[in-house]
Amino acid sequence: MKPIALTFDDGPDPATTPRLLAALAAADAKATFMLWGERVAAHPQLVRQVVSAGHAVGNHTHSHPNLEGLTAAQVVAELSRADRAIEAASGVTPSFFRPPYGVVNAHVLAAANRPAVTWRVDSEDWRTHDGERTYSRVLALVQPGDIVLLHDGLISTAEILPRLLCALTEAGYTMVTVPELLAAPLQAQTVYPASGIAVKM
């Protein structure tokens, strides 16, 4: 078993979420969607599809701010609004959050009072918008147990995902959700993975 967790940030998006779901289903792979509250409210049916396909969902805030610059009350409001939108769409309440830009510190963790999930492998799809580079970078860097950052809303990522999943499967990886990967119950005020390269404490 070489489990990894693919994570897709910033969705849902009608142009790409259905393509991601189709590719994941074809590869019998599970993933975690870190949902942007404003977009959840605009496309609740896509969130229902994500959840009914067996994928996990995380809270990526309501309006995608850098949380470091907010008061504790503002952090709570950002997460609560996204929680409510995700609940209304799917009936599921996210149990962890992904801080926008991977920016998290002790102040944000205390205010959020829930586990933060970042990543170890950044596909850099958000920067390159280049499917071939996303493919090469993930395959070069990934190791068993990794959490991998990818993005919903990028056509380049949606286009490359079927090939990427094929290559990962051929390399012996199993794509699971973040809760499945981490197995033990996640603790509030804790960042996963502990050695996350993007985490600023």
Binding site for Ni ion (CB under 5 A): 9-10, 100
Whole-number Cα distances in Å, 142 to 26, 78, 113, 156, 174: 21, 31, 30, 19, 12
Half-sphere exposure of residue 130: CA atoms within 13 angstroms, side-chain side: 7
Query: Which residues lie closer than 8 Å to 127 by C-beta, 6 or more apart?
Result: none
Minimum Å gap between C-beta 10 and Ni ion is 4
Residues 6+ apart with CB under 8 A from 152: 8, 9, 10, 11, 12, 13, 16, 17, 20, 33
Strands (E), 48-171: 56-59, 116-117, 121-122, 147-151
Active site residue 125: no
- Whether residue 151 lies in the annotated active site: yes
Least distance from Ni ion to the Cβ atom of residue 9, Å: 4
Which of 9, 83, 122, 125 is an active site residue? 9
Residue 9 or 78 having the CB closest to Ni ion? 9
Cβ distance to Ni ion smaller for residue 173 or 199:
199
Quote the tokens at residue 2: 């070489």
Nearer to Ni ion, 100 or 179 (CB): 100
Closest to Ni ion by CB, 157 or 173: 157
Provide φ and ψ at 189, rounded to 5°: 60, 30
Residue that is written with structure tokens 């170890």 in the block? 120
Tokens of 16: 């790409």
Instruction: Cite the active site residues.
Output: 9, 151
